[in-house]
Structure 1
Amino acid sequence: MLGLVIVLFIIIVIIICFRWYLSHVHSSLYWCWDNGNEDKRIAIDTNNGPVASNWSEWEPTHIKHGQKCGLAVDHYHRYKEDIQLMHTLGCNAYRFSLAWDKIEPIEGQYDKDILTHYHDVLKELHRQSIIPMITFHHFVHPLWFEQRSAFLDSSNISKFVRFSIDMFQEFQDECHLWCTINEPEVYVSGGYFTGIFPPGHKSQPNEASLIMQHLLQAHVDIYDGIKKIAHQPEQHSIGIVKDIFQFDPWNPVNPLDIYTSHILDYAMNGCILDFFRTGCFKWTMPGTIHRTYTNSRAPYTNDFIGLNYYSHFLVRFNLFKPSFYEILHRQDDSGSALMTDMPYALYPEGLYRACVRIKNQLPCIPIYITENGIADRFDDRRHLFLRRYLYAVSRAINEAGCDVRGYFYWSLTDNFEWAEGYDMKFGLYHVDLQTQERTLRDGSKYFQYVIQKHREKYEKKNL
């Protein structure tokens, strides 16, 4: 009888502990959004021609519906019009990347006309009082670089470093914010895990880990190289852009889901943040090479961290899948399960979590939210996305003390969204590809309102 009582007592304690975990720990990962009825006025503080590249060779065979980029929304030629749209919206900063494939179509030979184009873009931005932020590598590079195994070959690192430092030297008088590499883990995952990015190698974690190491090495070399040659090093801020998609367990009390999500999160997020915190890169995934790389300079090579944030993944262990896990999403299409047109849900809580994570793991390093946006073809969720994600930024600043210096919405206009082609509508402006007309989406009016209120508060504060 006593034994039965003890067993029942233990069961009750376990149940109480689970309920406490679910109500106090797991539930804190989600906020109550009142099904979209929350106050709509939340106050917050806050192509010049064909060029051969890794992506030009990749399309249209590997792009959804066999689509081809072409001129896309023709921002290359219509940059003045688009910069005027930024000014009209109230934007005071613009992040863009330099097209390495256009600038250096032949190794060692820079196209002077393309460089002149970028000088003209920068002049127009300054004329409209818009601060530029330049990115050196955003997934695309010249075909000659790809044909030499790109970042898989360590001898190619110096080629990218040389290009980046040369571009800094070219534009340093016109720009003071610099991003070295955009989302290294996305480049690695798309090209060497899922195979939806060039070169399309699927399930190659050993290649992926080596490329990740080389990208991180390149970042450190670029940072040090720029600081050495800059006329006024203290005026230039340089950082890497880190996309954070949290990998959370599908079942928060299932040890296998918890373990699998932890492994994935460390491989895509933790190992990079640890590298910039400790100088040691460690790649640990079951069944792969255990890779380590140490660079004592790494903790001193970010004047800021660029944070790209969209959503999170729910991970469930599945013995019958080749990878032994699957990515799932809630199915009730409300609250935390409200989906975007991309295969992920609205999850503004995660933007707060990502800011806090960077603050805790890389203290004293400012944050620029370099991408945050929604694919919303019918523009019926964009207003919710903007209100909720900007609210999350406000909480990160005011409650958690995160040093968030800026916010860039992705994107100003619709675009050719990599492997998704033209199917995904991220832009604040819809672009008719036939007429190239730009039309402000209704949901974006809230964005305009927020910028105006923020500007008024900033100006009042600095009177």
Structure 2
Amino acid sequence: MFVFVLILLSIAIIVIKWYLARIYASLYWCWDNGNEEKRIFIDTDDVSFPQSFLWGTASASYQCEGPGDRAPTKSNWSEWEPQHIKRGQQCGIAVDHYHRYKEDIELMSTLGCNAYRFSLAWDKIEPIEGQYDQDVLGHYHDVLRELHRQSIVPMITFHHFVHPLWFEERSSFLNSTNSSAFIRFSVDMFKEFQDECHLWCTINEPEVYVSGGYFTGIFPPGRKSQPNEASLVLQNLLQAHVDIYDGIKSIARQPDQHSIGIVKDIFQFDPYHPLNPLDVYISRLLDYAMNGCILDFFRTGSFKWTMPGSTPRTFTNSRAPHTNDFIGLNYYSHFLVRFNPFKPSSFEIVHRQDDSGPSLMTDMAYPLYPEGLYRACVRLKDELPRVPIYITENGIADRCDDRRHLFLRRYLYALSRAINEAGCDVRGYFYWSLTDNFEWAEGYDMKFGLYDVNLQTQERTLRDGAKYFQQVIQKHRAKYQKKIT
């Protein structure tokens, strides 16, 4: 009997090890511990992208523009800043992109970029409800003209976390009746710029806006642990996207020439230990709340929100599955979730240990995880089939510029695999961001830029770690140019 039990135990151990090996092999690829030149396992230079692929950088108006030619306008973020940003930092003139846009567009061209994603500053355009500032609108016409002069395709975002103070004072998206103001603004901006732009993002990362504003409290309005408010705001944002899409398509002179999509950030929530049912349960719960319920809405038209301690929320909109000509995917990393009954939330976010010690971390509180970009693309392909993808943000906070080169190598390799091996219809990649900028609650501490910016002199300097990005773009575009000629 003892021998029989021992045999069964040995078999169980073998099966468990085999099972875990399969899981980890799918989640973690065999990299070279930071030294890509070895190329023992993966040749990160082995990448290829479609001929018509867009290569660009991304920005948000508040983070890079500064106030422009007017006195600073008031917004949800300008009122939030003084007490809630690290070390009391304030955005100020940022990197003064409002006045230096020609210089910055020239930097894009130098890199080889042929696309640029940016947001319209609703707070500057409509500082008083119902009154559009024609000078600011004229500024954006100038930006678009310069982009076209440099053969750079624009992609415009209507809402990137910031809106006028008058909208915030009316409880912004917590009040469903307010959505009409945002919908009206978005459709009016389309009317204004439809001859100069054909790629449109409605809302940037609705779940991040909700999480920061109504769970962690690090974004305005700073409400903490308010799941019922969070689910209502998310519902109103998703409904607004549908209405904006339909509104634009109904008035566009050439609706088929314009592509409209929402921008979805995907951070995977993976169980720290795949055999721990509590880790698995919590990770799935978080993933559905932050990712799954939104993707389900755009696949089926049905939205279902469930979270312990909150009231379940459901609604349907049969138009939803038909309101994305593309999906904008923002991707950075993933979280490992571990059950912990001693934490107020009953879980904690941890990071993987491997043979080389702690996971290679960014300056943000998450590791390099290029495999996740591949996984996110495949997930979108599977859950929203026939909807093209643009990588609308992907970048690394790297103050010392000692991981950016590695980040770009690995993430672009993962993206190439998603396109060429998994058949994902990815049509462009926008690095976040061209220059350092004001990174929300982190202020100026996080250095995402391909170009370092001296905030005193506003001088831009290309970082060494960014040069691989330039090489890939120029090599890719030269390959197809050679074919044409």
Cα distance, 1:209–1:41 mapped onto 2, change above 3 Å: closer
Which residue of structure 1 aligns with residue 48 of structure 2?
45
For the Cα contact (< 8 Å) 2:351–2:358, is it kept in 1?
A: no
Alpha-carbon distance between aligned partners in 2 of 1:173 and 1:136, rounded to the nearest angstrom: 16
Which residue of structure 2 aligns with residue 83 of structure 1?
105
Listed one character per residue, the Cα deviations across residues 71-109 of structure 1 (whole Å, up to 9, x for unaligned) are: 010001100000000011100000000010000111111
Alpha-carbon distance between aligned partners in 2 of 1:352 and 1:242, rounded to the nearest angstrom: 15
1:155 maps to amino acid: T
- How far off its partner does 1:310 sit? 0.3
2:16 maps to amino acid: F
For the Cα contact (< 8 Å) 1:73–1:415, is it kept in 2?
A: yes
Which residue of structure 2 aligns with residue 17 of structure 1?
15
Which residue of structure 2 aligns with residue 111 of structure 1?
133
For the Cα contact (< 8 Å) 1:79–1:121, is it kept in 2?
A: yes
- How far off its partner does 1:18 sit? 1.3
2:12 maps to amino acid: I
- 1:326 aligned counterpart, secondary structure: strand
Cα distance, 1:44–1:453 mapped onto 2, change above 3 Å: same
For the Cα contact (< 8 Å) 1:282–1:293, is it kept in 2?
A: yes
Q: CA RMSD in A?
A: 1.4
Which residue of structure 2 aligns with residue 430 of structure 1?
452
Q: Does 1:279 align with 2:301?
A: yes
- 2:116 aligned counterpart, secondary structure: strand
Which residue of structure 2 aligns with residue 177 of structure 1?
199
Q: Does 1:127 align with 2:113?
A: no
Gaps of 5+ in 2: 38-42, 50-66
For the Cα contact (< 8 Å) 1:152–1:207, is it kept in 2?
A: yes
2:268 counterpart (240, 246, 256):
246
Alpha-carbon distance between aligned partners in 1 of 2:157 and 2:264, rounded to the nearest angstrom: 12
- How far off its partner does 1:454 sit? 1.2
Which residue of structure 1 aligns with residue 164 of structure 2?
142
Alpha-carbon distance between aligned partners in 2 of 1:458 and 1:51, rounded to the nearest angstrom: 45
1:374 counterpart (396, 406, 413):
396
Which residue of structure 2 aligns with residue 389 of structure 1?
411
Which residue of structure 1 aligns with residue 86 of structure 2?
64
Alpha-carbon distance between aligned partners in 1 of 2:113 and 2:261, rounded to the nearest angstrom: 21
For the Cα contact (< 8 Å) 2:147–2:153, is it kept in 1?
A: yes
- 1:123 aligned counterpart, secondary structure: helix
Which residue of structure 2 aligns with residue 293 of structure 1?
315
Listed one character per residue, the Cα deviations across residues 184-215 of structure 1 (whole Å, up to 9, x for unaligned) are: 00000000000000000001111111111110
- 2:156 aligned counterpart, secondary structure: strand
For the Cα contact (< 8 Å) 2:36–2:406, is it kept in 1?
A: no
Q: Does 1:262 align with 2:295?
A: no
- How far off its partner does 1:333 sit? 9.5
1:28 maps to amino acid: S
- How far off its partner does 1:32 sit? 1.2
Q: Which moved more, 1:290-299 or 1:10-19?
A: 10-19
Aligned residues: 461
1:421 maps to amino acid: G
Matches within 5 A, 1:337-348: 337-348=359-370
Alpha-carbon distance between aligned partners in 2 of 1:458 and 1:292, rounded to the nearest angstrom: 48
- How far off its partner does 1:229 sit? 0.2
2:24 counterpart (19, 23, 26):
26
1:106 maps to amino acid: I
Q: Return the structure number with greater relative CO, CA threshold 8 A, min gap 6.
A: 2
Which residue of structure 1 aligns with residue 385 of structure 2?
363
Q: Does 1:168 align with 2:166?
A: no
Cα distance, 1:460–1:336 mapped onto 2, change above 3 Å: farther
Alpha-carbon distance between aligned partners in 2 of 1:166 and 1:298, rounded to the nearest angstrom: 21
Alpha-carbon distance between aligned partners in 2 of 1:279 and 1:261, rounded to the nearest angstrom: 24
Which residue of structure 2 aligns with residue 443 of structure 1?
465
For the Cα contact (< 8 Å) 2:397–2:448, is it kept in 1?
A: yes
- How far off its partner does 1:144 sit? 0.5
Cα distance, 1:426–1:333 mapped onto 2, change above 3 Å: farther
Q: Which moved more, 1:4-13 or 1:16-25?
A: 4-13
Alpha-carbon distance between aligned partners in 2 of 1:66 and 1:12, rounded to the nearest angstrom: 59
Q: Which moved more, 1:322-331 or 1:128-137?
A: 322-331
Alpha-carbon distance between aligned partners in 2 of 1:128 and 1:442, rounded to the nearest angstrom: 24
Cα distance, 1:333–1:370 mapped onto 2, change above 3 Å: farther
- How far off its partner does 1:36 sit? 2.3
TM-score in terms of structure 2 length: 0.93
For the Cα contact (< 8 Å) 1:44–1:454, is it kept in 2?
A: no
Alpha-carbon distance between aligned partners in 2 of 1:14 and 1:179, rounded to the nearest angstrom: 50
Cα distance, 1:334–1:223 mapped onto 2, change above 3 Å: farther
Listed one character per residue, the Cα deviations across residues 23-68 of structure 1 (whole Å, up to 9, x for unaligned) are: 1123210011112222486032222131100000001210001000
Fraction of identical pairs, as percent: 80
- How far off its partner does 1:8 sit? 3.6
For the Cα contact (< 8 Å) 1:186–1:243, is it kept in 2?
A: yes
- 2:223 aligned counterpart, secondary structure: coil
> Which consecutive aligned stretches of 4+ in structure 1 deviate over 2 angstroms post-superposition?
4-14, 36-41, 330-336, 457-463
For the Cα contact (< 8 Å) 1:138–1:182, is it kept in 2?
A: yes
TM-score in terms of structure 1 length: 0.97
